[in-house]
């Protein structure tokens, strides 16, 4: 029987659904043999991507509020959040692109994270719009953050974590059963 490497969720972006998603994701990663540290990091990524996607909450009605995919491939975990966008969101998408490019421009994501943290400490509303969560993903999880908008106007916001043998407690992925 093949081992399931992908888990998908559709949810309304409210607290109860997000907590349920956290539990399911945690159980999924635990079933693949990942350590509590790796699981906590992936849950943080999941929450930060959902929070970042809320920037686009004034969207056209759709069947789902947010679609989330957790995918494991060898020593890589990808978390992707999908959400429909409309033409009025293009300015926000340009800002998202600038934020991600700015994060990538720093040799050490900590520098970007600290700049955003300092700015956010002065006004709580800034933290949601300046990419602090995305910088946190890049710094704390050492993940690559990216996005694209599909032809059918769905935002795909993702973070890719490459797990070294050290992060995997010196166990190669084959021993993790994936």
**Inter-residue contact 35 to 169 (CB < 8 Å):** yes
pLDDT at 2: 45
- Using a 10 angstrom Cβ sphere, with 0-12 exposed, 13-18 middle and 19 or more buried, the burial of residue 160 is middle
- For 99-126, write each residue's pLDDT tens digit: 888 888 765 656 656 666 666 665 443 3
75: left (phi over 0), alpha (psi -120 to 50) or beta: alpha
128: Cβ contacts below 8 Å, ≥ 6 apart: 51, 54, 55
pTM: 0.78
**Inter-residue contact 33 to 176 (CB < 8 Å):** yes
CATH of domain 6-176: 3.30.565.10
**Inter-residue contact 78 to 7 (CB < 8 Å):** no
């Amino acid at each position: 029987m093949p081992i399931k490497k992908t888990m998908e969720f559709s949810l309304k972006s409210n607290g109860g659904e997000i907590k349920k998603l956290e539990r399911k994701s945690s159980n999924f990663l635990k079933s693949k043999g990942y350590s509590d540290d790796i699981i906590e990091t992936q849950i943080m990524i999941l929450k930060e991507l959902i929070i970042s996607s809320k920037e686009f909450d004034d969207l056209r009605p759709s069947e789902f509020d947010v679609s989330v995919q957790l995918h494991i491939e060898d020593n890589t975990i990808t978390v992707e959040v999908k959400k429909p966008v409309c033409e009025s969101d293009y300015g926000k998408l340009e800002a998202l692109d600038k934020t991600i490019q700015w994060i990538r421009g720093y040799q050490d994501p900590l520098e970007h994270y600290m700049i955003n943290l300092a700015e956010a400490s002065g006004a709580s509303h800034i933290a949601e719009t300046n990419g602090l969560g995305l910088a946190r993903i890049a710094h704390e999880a050492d993940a690559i953050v990216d996005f694209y908008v599909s032809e059918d106007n769905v935002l795909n916001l993702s973070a890719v974590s490459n797990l070294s043998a050290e992060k995997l407690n010196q166990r190669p992925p084959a021993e993790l059963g994936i």
